[in-house]
Amino acid sequence: MNHRKFVVTSSITMLVVAGIVAGLAFYSNVIVRASIADLPDAVTYIPADYHVVFGMNVDRFVKSPVFQKFQDRHAGEYGSDLQEFITKTGLDPTRDVHYLLAAGHAVEGQKGAGVVIAIGSFDEDKIVDFIKTKAKAPIDFINTDGTRVLMIPESESGKLQKGVAFLKKNSEIALGDLDTLKEVLDVRAGKKPGVNSNPVLAPLIGSMQPQEMFWFAGDPSSILSKAPTNTPFGGSLSAILNVVGTLNLDTAVVGKITATAKDADSAQKLTDVARGFVALGQLAGDQNPDLVELLKGVNITVDKDKNQISLALNFPFELLDKLQHAKMKVPSKV
């Protein structure tokens, strides 16, 4: 197994469930300084200047019929590398990872940074031993607060690439680059402010319930302000103050995404564009009646007092299944 493949299939393998929902991504004047109720404690380790936070209740997801279908179709794709990881570490992501948190932020003129935190039941020593057998000269050290950190150098340059920090013995693991991990450790130690002091994100995260299968909260102002104006949403993207959403997958797809705009005009523009997309989808009924049926479960509402647009989803999961099968059967163009 080469170094790059190792990084994906060993230290990151325990987070493979998160890949299932890749792409799921992205106001208040009240500053919340207490812990964020009901969610895992690790959410409070996220630095205050982050722009988006994502949560996944892995326990609930792996018990859902949706995951069972996913596992039946794709289990073979992970192959022997995942099985080796499970055998040598005793960690099975679908059994031992209970909750996942991911967060990131944009940096002006630089590549953004992010962290993933897994909460569950792990054997720290076995994971470290496994990484050491696969990575070239990993750097194992104890942070000043007593936290064990294992950094994995790039095979060519020797530059420290990604690392693993064992935040809580056998139950919390953070993955990210060295600077990000140091920030998370500083927040946890009380040396730097955390996301629970962020005036935009804290109230949004505080409104989440731990039983939500997927949720996210975002402050997209610094990102969307740079979005090109020739997109379907045009300049109205930069007028979004925050976005929050939940998604639950069972026999039905149930979710809600709410965006708060800076003024009534911006909210109306977002509403018009969103309704336009739904209308275009409905016009495709002659070619794809399943898509039209799915769009019947999409409801767009506006709260004019709060300048909010909400998109609610509620349709049978089998419709997504049928659309996916139909897409796979479409012959490619020569």
Is pTM, for the whole model, over 0.85?
no
- Specify the pLDDT at position 278: 81
- Specify the pLDDT at position 30: 32
Distance CA 188, CA 129 (A): 26
Q: How many CB atoms lie within 10 A of CB 5?
A: 11
Structure token pair of residue 21: 């929902």
Helical (H) or strand (E) element with 44: none
Looking at the chain, how many residues does it have?
334
Dump the DSSP string for 77-143.
GTHHHHHHHHHHH---HHHHEEEEEEEEEEETTEEEEEEEEEEE---HHHHHHHHHHHSSS-EEEE-
- Specify the pLDDT at position 224: 58
Distance CA 197, CA 195 (A): 5
| Whether the Cβ atoms of residue 150 and residue 177 lie closer than 8 Å to each other | no
- Specify the pLDDT at position 334: 41
Q: Write phi, then psi, for 41 (nearest 5 degrees).
A: -55, -30
The phi-psi region of residue 293 (left if phi > 0; otherwise alpha if psi is between -120 and 50; otherwise beta) is: alpha
Domain range annotation of the chain: 1-219, 222-334
List Cα–Cα distances, 155 to 31, 39, 113, 160, in angstroms.
44, 38, 21, 9
- DSSP at 15: G
- Specify the pLDDT at position 72: 76
| Whether the Cβ atoms of residue 96 and residue 20 lie closer than 8 Å to each other | no
CA atoms within 13 A on the CB side of 127: 30
- The arrangement of strands across the sheet holding 252-261 comes to 139-142, 148-153, 160-168, 172-176, 110-120, 97-107, 52-57, 214-218, 240-249, 252-261, 308-316, 298-303
- Specify the pLDDT at position 228: 52
Structure token pair of residue 214: 């997927």
Beta strands in the chain (DSSP E): 52-57, 97-107, 110-120, 139-142, 148-153, 160-168, 172-176, 214-218, 240-249, 252-261, 298-303, 308-316
Distance CA 99, CA 59 (A): 7
Burial status of residue 232 (CB atoms within 10 A of its CB: 0-12, 13-18, 19 or more):
exposed
Tens of pLDDT along the chain (334 residues) come to: 443 333 333 333 333 333 333 333 322 233 333 446 579 999 999 999 999 999 999 999 999 988 888 777 766 665 567 788 888 888 888 889 999 999 998 776 566 789 999 999 999 999 999 988 888 888 999 998 899 999 988 766 656 778 999 999 899 999 999 999 999 999 999 999 999 999 999 999 999 988 999 999 999 876 555 555 555 554 556 678 999 999 999 889 999 999 999 888 888 888 888 888 888 777 766 677 777 788 888 899 999 999 999 999 998 888 877 766 555 454 444 4
